Amino acid sequence: MLSKRIRTMTPSATNVLFAKVAQLREAGEDIISFNVGEPDFQTPIEVRDECKKALDAGKTKYAPVSGITPLKEAICEKFLKDNRIEYEKDQICISTGGKQAVYNAVMAVCDPGDEILLPTPCWVSYVEMIKLAQGIPVLIPPGEDYQLDFHALKNRITKKTKAIMINTPNNPTGVCYTKEALLELGKLAVEHDFYIISDEVYEKLVYDNNRHICIAGLSKEIYDRSIIINGFSKSHAMTGWRIGYTAASKEISRGIAALQGHITSNSTTFVQWAALEGLKTCDDSVEYMRKEFEKRRDFIYEAMNQISGIHCTKPEGAIVKQSKIQTNMFICDTMCL
C-alpha cells in the first residue's frame, strides 16, 4: 500500500487540469487554457544557442550539487543589480525548477508539527509541500485588495510558528506586496523568530508603476531569516528547462544542498550554462515579454469588467489573475494572459 504521506497528498490541481487540456486537444477540441502559469513565448535564442554549445562542449557531466560557480556568481550579481542585496555564492543553491527550490526551503526549516503560515489564496503546491515535510499549513485569509491581513496573521502566530510562505508578485491574485507590508511582516518574523520563505518567481512580471520588493533587502535581521526563491521559468520562458534557485543564509544553504545531494543532485549541467547566458544577455527579451503580458492584462482586464456581474481587480504582476463574481462567489481560475 502507498505510504500515508502520499495517500494524504492532493495531486496538483494544475497538473491534473494540464493533462485534461492536453487530452481534449488531442481529441481535436479547440481549447484556450487559463491554467498553468506558462509564458507562451519561445525561450530566447541566446539561451537556446548556448545550450547547444554547452552540449557540444561536453557539459553533460555531473556538476557540483548546488550549481556551477559562474551561474551562482551571476545570480549574486543579479541580486545586487536588481534588489541591492549582497549574497555570496555559497548562499545560492541552484535546483531543478523553482518548485524544487520551494520544497527544499520548506524541508530545510520545517520539523514535524511546525506551523507554517500561508496567506491565501496561494499556489496549489505550497500546502502539499508543507504536509510532505510533516508541517501544519496555517491558512491566512486575504486582506483588502489581497494584501496581507496583519490582524489575521498576528492572531495565528503561535510558539510553533516556524515560517511564513509568501509569494510576490502573487499567483493567483496578481498582487505585489507593498514595501510597508513586507517591512511589517519582516518585523513580526524578527520579533517571533520565524523564517520567511519568499517565492519571487514572478519578479520580472510587474506592471504599471509597481516595483518588485525583495523582503531580504529590508534589514539585516530580515535578511538573516529570509529564504528567497527565484527561477528562470517565468522571466525567461524556460518552464520546460527546469531551473530555479534559493538564496539564504550559509547555514540554510548548506542544509538545502545536503538535501538536494540525496535527491536530484545538480540541476541539469548544460541547462545551467544556458541559464547563465539568459542572465548575461537577455534583459531585452525579458522586457519584451513583460510588455506583451502587460498589454494582454490591460485587454482582458477591460474585457472582463464589461461582462455583467463580473468585477475584476487589476493584477499588478504575474501572468495570472483572479476574478470575483459580485454575488461573493469566487472563481479562483488562474489565467495565463
Ligand X SMILES: Cc1ncc(COP(=O)(O)O)c(C=O)c1O
98 belongs to the binding site for ligand X (CB under 6 A)? yes
Q: Which is nearer to ligand X, 233 or 272 (CB)?
A: 233
Cα gap 108→54, rounded to integer Å: 32
Cβ-based neighbours of 17, under 8 Å, separated by 6 or more? 33, 35, 36
User: Roughly what angle, to the nearest 10 degrees, separates helices 269-281 and 45-56?
Assistant: 140
Residue with grid cell 487540456, as numbered in its chain: 21
Q: Does 121 help bind ligand X (rule: CB under 6 A)?
A: no
Smallest distance, ligand X to C-beta of residue 28, A: 27
Q: Nearer Cβ to ligand X, position 187 or 290? A: 290
Contact between residue 233 and residue 244 where contact means Cβ atoms under 8 Å apart: yes
Judged by beta carbon, residue 219 or residue 234, the one nearer ligand X is: 234
Q: How far is the CB of 175 from ligand X (least distance, A)?
A: 12
Q: Shortest approach of ligand X to residue 200 CB, angstroms? A: 9
In the chain, the amino acid numbered 92 is I
Confirm if 244 and 95 have CB atoms less than 8 A apart. Answer: yes
Question: Of these, 79, 103, 123, 194, which contacts ligand X (CB under 6 A)?
Answer: 123
Q: Does 231 bind ligand X (CB under 6 A)?
A: yes
174 is a site residue for ligand X (CB under 6 A): no
Q: 137, 138, 139, 218: which is closest to 177 by C-alpha?
A: 218
Helix (H) or strand (E) run with residue 119 in it: strand 115-119
Site string for ligand X, 294-333 (x = CB under 6 A): ----------------------------------------
Q: Which residue lies nearer to ligand X by CB, 132 or 310?
A: 132
| Helices and strands: H and E segment counts in the chain | 12, 10
- C-alpha 324/C-alpha 315 separation (Å) is 13
Sequential DSSP letters for 163-225: EEEEESS-TTT-----HHHHHHHHHHHHHHT-EEEEE-TTTT-B-TT-----GGGS-HHHHHH
Check residue 99 for interaction with ligand X (CB under 6 A): yes
Q: How far is the CB of 199 from ligand X (least distance, A)?
A: 5
Alpha helix positions (H), 226-319: 250-263, 269-281, 283-305
Q: Which range in 41-49, 96-104, 189-197, 298-306 contacts ligand X by CB under 6 A?
A: 96-104
Say if strands 226-231 and 323-325 run parallel, antiparallel, or are unpaired. Answer: unpaired
Interacting residue with ligand X among 121, 186, 244, 278 (CB under 6 A): 244
Among 39, 97, 174, 255, binds ligand X (CB under 6 A): 97
Minimum gap (Å) between residue 2 Cβ and ligand X: 24
User: Which 3 state secondary structure label does DSSP give 261?
Assistant: helix
Question: What track of x and - describes contact with ligand X for positions 190 through 209 (by CB under 6 A)?
Answer: ---------x-x--------
Q: Which is nearer to ligand X, 102 or 222 (CB)?
A: 102
**Cell 489581497 identifies what position?**
146
User: Closest separation between CB of residue 264 and ligand X, Å?
Assistant: 12
Told to check if 285 binds ligand X by CB under 6 A, we report no
Using CB under 6 A as the criterion, which residues of the chain lie in contact with ligand X when the complex forms? 37, 97-99, 102, 123, 167, 171, 199, 201, 231, 233, 239, 244
